[in-house]
């Protein structure tokens, strides 16, 4: 670890000192300890894998989740019982072509609805916020999974309550399998739950009882609510033992607002990794990188080869320091530097602000024979969307006082600012204002391909992996794309579907505080 990073980390970790009999909490001097075993799901209980083969019910309710190394916290989850086993927030495992028949039973004391993030489904099945169900009510979903294999997820989309409910627990993975995924897992002898690991990154805050806290002040509502520690699979300061072989990591940024600049470090040196998939499944071929940004809602699948390490070696997953570019919109010209972001972070009451260096997870390599394997050169086939007849549409992201906007709009359930025709293709030219902050933009119901990324800050341009300025997280099939201040991103969307009638979806910022503060618009796909 470089000295600067170490100091950054140290500054972010609280220690308790006593002073004249008073206990003071300050934020100095302590290295990451990685003293909690990474939570991995068992065969039942929290986040266990459930491959449903019959209709089932997900009960949204409040429970108590044990946090590794901590006490239990009140937690919102989706509970179900299948074949006598209890599941909370099950990792749903499906295959392309499967039917999902599930009923949401709202046992919360407020409205909620489930959205299937990344899935191509009719508007009625999508979990649009207008479908939010009252306490005691139910919503039945029934649809066919037509997406490619990949790492998707499901989470609450309650109108104006998404951020809090997601922060308090209502989210989990939805993994879709297909032949390409089978081929890869066979070639590398990977197994879900041991060498193929779903890992959700979430920053959280806890109070002194160890209970999750979600209390954004107006400034945090505007900028995003940042936690003061990052949990992986709800494990703070997580450590995980690995074999000397290739592992597949399915990384999901399930934070409400925090962006990660992911990198691996061993003894302070960068450890390259291969990106094999993004939001909508496998890439055409693997891409080796040393780092990648991951914004809220996005997924990144990577292969890490621990065969070259010796037993006892440690490989750490970090989020490297970066300029969060936050605060420009609030402060006007010239206010976009790191210093302003830092000042903003402190004003927001955070021990850590966006862009702070963070240690997320430590892999400890086990003793034993190294298993070497050849990563296949071809993973899948990605057909570029044919945009010859595509209509071009401009989307501007900017802000009015204390309000982020999309094309000057704030969310109004009765307005439909974007109307497209079914079975057509469109190119959306999304521009983020210069004086703005990063916005991870997400569309429901359809996947897209990123065509071009331009105009961004140097540290983003430096990450380009091709002549079109794309970063590694832009490759393949996407449903969420990050826009830095000043950037223009062109995406191609294929609105082909075979559903009856008009379909209503949303396009919104996946900074969930922004979403709840109405940085969202309806999208109608006209029959």
Give which of Cu ion, ligand C2O, none residue 155 binds (C-beta under 5 to 8 Å, depending on kind): ligand C2O
For 397, half-sphere exposure in the C-beta direction (CA atoms, 13 angstrom radius) is 31
Residue 119 CB, shortest distance to ligand C2O, in Å, is 10
Q: Is 514 in the site for ligand C2O (CB under 6 A)?
A: no
> Which positions from 89 to 118 touch ligand C2O by CB under 6 A, shown as an x/- string?
--------------------------x-x-
Whether 512 and 481 have beta carbons less than 8 Å apart is answered as no
Q: What residues form DSSP beta bridges with 362?
A: 239, 316
Q: Tell me the C-alpha to C-alpha distance, in Å, between residue 33 and each of 226, 360, 361, 365.
A: 21, 11, 10, 16
**404 sits in which H/E element:** strand 403-406
Token couple for 319:
């989020």
Give which of ligand C2O, Cu ion, none residue 508 binds (C-beta under 5 to 8 Å, depending on kind): ligand C2O
* Residue closest to ligand C2O when measured from CB atoms: 117
In this chain, which of 195, 237, 319, 511 binds Cu ion, going by CB under 5 A? 511
Give which of Cu ion, ligand C2O, none residue 157 binds (C-beta under 5 to 8 Å, depending on kind): ligand C2O
Residue 20 CB, shortest distance to Cu ion, in Å, is 45
In this chain, which of 148, 161, 245, 508 binds ligand C2O, going by CB under 6 A? 508
- Only one of the segments 71-79, 380-388, 484-492, 509-517 lies at the binding site for Cu ion (rule: CB under 5 A); that segment is 509-517
CA dist 110 and 136 (Å) reads 9
Give which of Cu ion, ligand C2O, none residue 164 binds (C-beta under 5 to 8 Å, depending on kind): none
CA dist 368 and 378 (Å) reads 30
Q: Is 435 in the site for Cu ion (CB under 5 A)?
A: no
Question: CB-based burial of residue 161 (10 Å sphere; 0-12 exposed, 13-18 middle, 19+ buried)?
Answer: buried
In this chain, which of 148, 157, 453, 478 binds ligand C2O, going by CB under 6 A? 157
- Only one of the segments 53-61, 78-86, 252-260, 439-447 lies at the binding site for Cu ion (rule: CB under 5 A); that segment is 439-447
Q: Is 287 in the site for Cu ion (CB under 5 A)?
A: no
User: Could you say which residues in the range 352-381 bind Cu ion, by CB under 5 A?
Assistant: none
Residue 284 CB, shortest distance to Cu ion, in Å, is 24
CA 55, 61, 63, 69 torsion-angle sign: positive
Residue 102 phi, psi dihedral angles, 5° rounding: -140, 140
Q: Tell me the C-alpha to C-alpha distance, in Å, between residue 351 and each of 115, 340, 354.
A: 32, 15, 10
In this chain, which of 120, 161, 250, 442 binds ligand C2O, going by CB under 6 A? 442
- Only one of the segments 116-124, 168-176, 231-239, 484-492 lies at the binding site for Cu ion (rule: CB under 5 A); that segment is 116-124
Give which of ligand C2O, Cu ion, none residue 439 binds (C-beta under 5 to 8 Å, depending on kind): Cu ion
- Length in residues, the chain: 527
Give which of Cu ion, ligand C2O, none residue 509 binds (C-beta under 5 to 8 Å, depending on kind): Cu ion
Token couple for 354:
């966006």
Q: Is 117 in the site for Cu ion (CB under 5 A)?
A: yes
- ∠ at Cα 249 (189, 286), nearest 5°? 75
- Only one of the segments 83-91, 197-205, 462-470, 505-513 lies at the binding site for ligand C2O (rule: CB under 6 A); that segment is 505-513
- Identify the residue whose tokens are 């993973």: 379
Residue 442 CB, shortest distance to ligand C2O, in Å, is 5
Nearer to Cu ion by Cβ, of 60 and 184: the residue is 60
Whether 242 and 365 have beta carbons less than 8 Å apart is answered as yes
* Residue closest to Cu ion when measured from CB atoms: 509
Residue 163 phi, psi dihedral angles, 5° rounding: -60, -50
Nearer to ligand C2O by Cβ, of 155 and 353: the residue is 155
In this chain, which of 155, 439, 478, 497 binds Cu ion, going by CB under 5 A? 439
Residue 289 CB, shortest distance to Cu ion, in Å, is 25
Q: Is 297 in the site for ligand C2O (CB under 6 A)?
A: yes
Radius of gyration of the chain from its Cα atoms, rounded to whole angstroms: 22
- Only one of the segments 219-227, 228-236, 259-267, 502-510 lies at the binding site for ligand C2O (rule: CB under 6 A); that segment is 502-510
Q: Is 299 in the site for Cu ion (CB under 5 A)?
A: no
Q: Is 508 in the site for Cu ion (CB under 5 A)?
A: no
Closest alpha carbon to 206 in 354, 40, 78, 67: 67
CA dist 408 and 189 (Å) reads 50
Residue 510 CB, shortest distance to ligand C2O, in Å, is 6
CA dist 142 and 233 (Å) reads 28
Strands 503-509 and 520-526 come out as antiparallel
CB atoms within 10 A of CB 364: 16
The one-character DSSP state at 377 is S
Closest alpha carbon to 447 in 385, 381, 509: 385
SS (H, E, C) 83-142: CCEEEECCEEEEECCCEEEEEEEECCCCCECEEEECCCCCHHHCCCHHHCECCCCEEEEE
Give which of ligand C2O, Cu ion, none residue 511 binds (C-beta under 5 to 8 Å, depending on kind): Cu ion
Q: Is 330 in the site for Cu ion (CB under 5 A)?
A: no
- Only one of the segments 219-227, 313-321, 339-347, 504-512 lies at the binding site for ligand C2O (rule: CB under 6 A); that segment is 504-512
- Only one of the segments 45-53, 183-191, 429-437, 506-514 lies at the binding site for ligand C2O (rule: CB under 6 A); that segment is 506-514
Q: Is 155 in the site for ligand C2O (CB under 6 A)?
A: yes
3-state secondary structure of 525: strand
User: Would you tell me which residues interact with ligand C2O (CB under 6 A)?
Assistant: 115, 117, 155, 157, 297, 442, 444, 506, 508, 510
User: Would you tell me which residues interact with Cu ion (CB under 5 A)?
Assistant: 117, 439, 444, 509, 511, 514
């Amino acid at each position: 670890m470089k000295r600067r990073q170490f100091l950054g980390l140290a500054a972010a970790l609280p220690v308790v000192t006593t002073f004249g009999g008073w206990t003071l909490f300050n934020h100095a001097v302590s290295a990451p300890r990685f003293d909690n075993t990474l939570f991995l799901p068992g065969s039942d209980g929290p986040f266990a894998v459930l491959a449903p083969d019959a209709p089932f019910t997900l009960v949204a309710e409040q429970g108590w989740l044990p946090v590794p190394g901590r006490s239990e916290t009140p937690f919102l989850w989706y509970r179900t019982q299948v074949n006598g086993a209890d599941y909370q927030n099950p990792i749903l495992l499906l295959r392309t072509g499967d039917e999902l028949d599930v009923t949401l039973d709202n046992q919360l004391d407020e409205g909620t609805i489930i959205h299937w993030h990344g899935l191509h489904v009719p508007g009625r099945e999508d979990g649009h916020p207008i479908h939010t169900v009252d306490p005691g009510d139910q919503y039945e979903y029934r649809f066919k999974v037509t997406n490619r294999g990949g790492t998707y997820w499901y989470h609450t989309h309650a109108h104006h309550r998404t951020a809090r409910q997601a922060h308090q627990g209502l989210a989990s993975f939805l993994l879709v399998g297909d032949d390409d995924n089978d081929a890869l897992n066979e070639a590398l002898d990977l197994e879900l739950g041991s060498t193929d690991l779903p890992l959700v990154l979430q920053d959280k805050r806890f109070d002194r009882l160890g209970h999750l806290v979600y209390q954004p002040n107006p400034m945090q509502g505007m900028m995003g609510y940042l936690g003061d520690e990052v949990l992986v699979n709800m494990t703070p300061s997580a450590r995980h033992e690995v074999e000397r072989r290739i592992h597949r990591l399915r990384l999901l940024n399930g934070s409400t607002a925090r962006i990660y600049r992911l990198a691996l470090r061993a003894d302070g040196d960068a450890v390259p990794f291969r990106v094999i998939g993004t939001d909508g499944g496998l890439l055409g071929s693997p891409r080796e990188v040393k780092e990648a940004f991951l914004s809220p809602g996005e997924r990144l699948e990577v292969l890490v080869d621990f065969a070259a390490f010796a037993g006892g070696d440690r490989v750490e997953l970090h989020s490297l320091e970066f300029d969060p570019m936050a605060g420009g919109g609030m402060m006007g010209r010239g206010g976009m530097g790191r210093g302003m972001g830092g000042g903003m972070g402190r004003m927001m009451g955070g021990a850590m602000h966006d862009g702070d260096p963070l240690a997320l997870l430590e892999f400890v390599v086990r003793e034993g024979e190294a298993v070497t394997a050849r990563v296949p050169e071809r993973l899948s086939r990605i057909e570029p969307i044919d945009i010859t007849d595509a209509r071009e549409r401009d989307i501007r992201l900017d802000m009015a006082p204390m309000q982020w906007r999309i094309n000057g709009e704030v969310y109004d359930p009765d307005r439909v600012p974007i109307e497209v025709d079914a079975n057509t293709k469109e190119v959306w030219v999304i521009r983020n204002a210069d004086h703005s902050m990063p916005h991870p933009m997400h569309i429901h119901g359809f996947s897209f391909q990123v065509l071009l990324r331009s105009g961004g800050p140097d540290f983003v341009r430096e990450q380009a992996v091709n002549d079109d300025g794309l970063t590694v997280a832009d490759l393949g099939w996407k449903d969420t794309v990050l826009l830095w201040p000043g950037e223009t991103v062109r995406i191609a969307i294929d609105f082909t579907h075979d559903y009856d009638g008009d379909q209503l979806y949303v396009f919104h910022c996946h900074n969930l505080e922004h979403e709840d503060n109405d940085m969202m618009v309806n999208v109608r796909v006209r029959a």
